[in-house]
Amino acid sequence: MKKHFGSLYLNFKTDTWSTYALMIHMFYLRRLFFVLTLVINPTLQTQLMFFMYSSLLLLCAVIHYRPYNDSAHNLIEILNETMVLATGYFVICFSDFVTSVEVEYKIGWVFLIMMVSVIVLNWIILSYDAIFTFCYHVIYKNSSESFQRKVRLNVIKARETVTLRRNKNK
pTM: 0.71
Q: Which domain holds residue 74?
A: 1-97
Pair 72, 125: CB distance under 8 Å: yes
170: pLDDT confidence band, cut at 50, 70 and 90? low
Domain boundary among 97, 131, 156: 97
One domain for residues 3 and 69: yes
One domain for residues 15 and 29: yes
Amino acid at 53: Y
Residues 6+ apart with CB under 8 A from 12: 19, 20, 23, 67, 68, 69
pLDDT in tens, 90-131: 988 888 888 889 999 999 999 999 999 999 999 998 888 888
Residues 6+ apart with CB under 8 A from 73: 11
One domain for residues 110 and 81: no
One domain for residues 111 and 136: yes
One domain for residues 114 and 77: no
